[in-house]
Structure formats: structure tokens, C-alpha cells
């Protein structure tokens, strides 16, 4: 097992879902911290907005549900910079508002494809790169959700995929030990991004008792700082799980 910890200015990160939201905030903070960052997402124009001309940013259009796209993403990163030190496995969708008896199979499969299969494909490509490079090793950070602990009403597909993300995180951490690969998960609640508008957090989110409640939110830059902290830990330490929520949000004691 390696204890290789390269200086930040030589580290290479891949950030999926980098065109908006948490992914954009994390990518920009990593660039500001000295990382070389491959920005992955479906829309190249948004990736270039995230990069904002930064010389250490590489925009790579990628659909994480397509295995060939994911392989091209990691090939492009290694071709540009020679290795992969960090993957922020962030791409995801909220999916439809539906209970288990209402959701269509197509909507279920589409949510699973992005949130779970896409995360697996990116993690697999990252692990292969981290095993093959010299020195071996690296860190994977999976973006879960507080829905990995306590679901919102009518979010069956999202909640199931985020619970499954926890299993993926633990499996990667276990299987990566011999190769200096660590894996942790950050479960974020109510950071101010576009997805919060879709579920009405700022105007009245559906609660377990059927009521609607305006919930507090916190700046996405604070979430990005937590991800950077996980990324910058020395190889001798692994942050397995972080739960980060807006102060006062109805999470502990939901219902």
C-alpha cells in the first residue's frame, strides 16, 4: 500500500457534473487551489463556462451513462496530465416526483443509469487508472445525499440510488486498500443549487406529514470547501463519511 501524497499543484482531479451546481463550485475551487482538473458533463458550453479560461482546466463532454464516453474522459485526462489523483463522482439527477407504485420503468431506469450506473462506471475507470499509474493510488469522493439516510416523500428512485451509493463507496474503499485507493462519501442537504428549486426548498418543500415548509439553505461554496478538505487529506487518512446540511434544516427528526 502506497502512502504517496503528491503536492497539490501536481495533483490531477476529475469532476463529473462540472457544468453546474456542486460540480461547478468544486471544480473552480480545486482550480484555485492548484489542481489540474478535467471537467466532465454533457454540455460542453457549460463546462467551458466553469473553466472560464483557466489554463489547468480540461473540458471533456461526457455522458456518464455511456461506458465509451467515460473511458474517453479518463483517457483524455491521462493523456493530458499522466495520472488521476482524485475523482469527485458528482453527476446525478433528482428524478421524478413519484412513489414506488407511480414511477414508470423508464423514469426509474433513467435515474438509476445516471446516479448509480454512471457513478460505478466513473469509479471503475478511476480505479483502473489509479492502479496502473506510478506511484499507485488516489482518492474517490462520491456525492451522495442526506437522502442516503432519510428520504424525502415521493422520491423513490433518487432515495434508492443514494442509499446504493453508500454501498458503492464502502466497496471501493475496501477493494482499493491494497492499491492506496481511498473512497469517501459526502452527503449534502440543502446547498443552494438549481436542484433545490425543483423540489421547492426555498418556496415550500413537501414534508413527511404532507405539509410544505420553507427550508434553510447554505451557499454551495461551503459544500465545495468540504469536498476540497476531503480531497486534500494525506494518503495516510481516509474520510469515510461526511454529512453536511444547512443549519436548522428538518433532517434530524424528519417527519
What is the per-residue pLDDT for 113? 98
pLDDT tens digits, 55-82: 999 999 999 999 999 999 999 999 999 9
Q: What percent of the chain has pLDDT over 70?
A: 93
Helix, strand or coil for residue 60? Answer: strand
Instruction: For residues 9 and 30, give the distance between their C-alpha atoms in angstroms, rounded to a whole number.
Output: 10
Instruction: For residues 173 and 184, give the distance between their C-alpha atoms in angstroms, rounded to a whole number.
Output: 7
Determine which helix (DSSP H) or strand (DSSP E) holds 186, and give its type and residue range: strand 181-189
pTM metric for this prediction: 0.92
Tell me the β-bridge partners of 138: 181
Provide the CATH number for the domain formed by 8-236 in this structure: 3.40.50.720
Domain residue extents for the chain: 8-236
What is the per-residue pLDDT for 14? 98
> Which portions of the chain are predicted below pLDDT 70?
1-9, 196-200, 202, 253-255
Q: Provide the H-helix boundaries in the chain.
A: 21-32, 44-51, 67-81, 105-112, 118-132, 156-176, 194-198, 220-231
**Cis peptide upstream of residue 210 (ω within 30 degrees of 0):** no
Residue 35 appears among annotated catalytic residues: no
**Cis peptide upstream of residue 135 (ω within 30 degrees of 0):** yes
State phi, psi for 39 to the nearest 5 degrees. Answer: -100, 120
Q: Which of 90, 158, 168, 245 is catalytic?
A: 158
Amino acid at each position: 500500500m502506497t502512502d504517496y501524497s503528491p503536492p497539490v499543484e501536481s495533483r490531477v482531479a476529475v469532476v463529473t457534473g462540472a457544468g453546474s451546481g456542486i460540480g461547478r463550485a468544486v471544480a473552480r475551487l480545486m482550480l484555485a487551489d492548484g489542481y489540474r482538473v478535467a471537467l466532465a458533463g454533457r454540455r460542453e458550453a457549460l463546462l467551458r463556462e466553469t473553466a472560464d479560461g483557466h489554463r489547468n482546466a480540461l473540458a471533456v463532454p461526457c455522458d456518464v451513462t455511456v461506458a465509451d464516453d467515460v473511458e474517453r474522459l479518463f483517457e483524455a485526462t491521462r493523456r493530458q496530465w499522466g495520472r488521476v489523483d482524485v475523482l469527485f463522482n458528482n453527476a446525478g439527477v433528482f428524478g421524478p416526483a413519484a412513489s414506488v407504485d407511480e414511477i414508470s420503468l423508464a423514469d426509474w431506469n433513467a435515474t438509476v443509469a445516471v446516479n448509480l450506473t454512471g457513478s460505478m462506471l466513473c469509479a471503475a475507470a478511476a480505479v483502473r487508472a489509479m492502479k496502473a499509474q506510478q506511484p499507485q493510488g488516489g482518492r474517490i469522493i462520491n456525492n451522495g445525499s442526506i437522502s442516503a439516510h432519510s428520504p424525502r416523500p415521493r422520491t423513490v428512485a433518487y432515495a434508492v440510488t443514494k442509499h446504493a451509493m453508500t454501498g458503492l463507496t464502502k466497496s471501493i474503499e475496501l477493494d482499493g486498500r491494497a492499491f492506496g485507493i481511498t473512497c469517501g462519501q459526502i452527503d449534502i442537504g440543502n446547498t443552494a443549487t438549481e436542484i433545490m428549486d425543483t423540489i421547492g426548498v426555498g418556496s415550500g418543500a413537501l414534508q413527511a406529514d404532507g405539509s410544505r415548509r420553507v427550508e434553510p439553505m447554505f451557499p454551495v461554496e461551503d459544500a465545495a470547501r468540504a469536498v476540497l478538505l476531503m480531497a486534500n487529506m494525506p494518503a495516510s487518512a481516509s474520510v469515510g463519511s461526511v454529512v453536511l446540511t444547512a443549519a436548522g434544516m428538518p433532517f434530524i427528526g424528519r417527519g
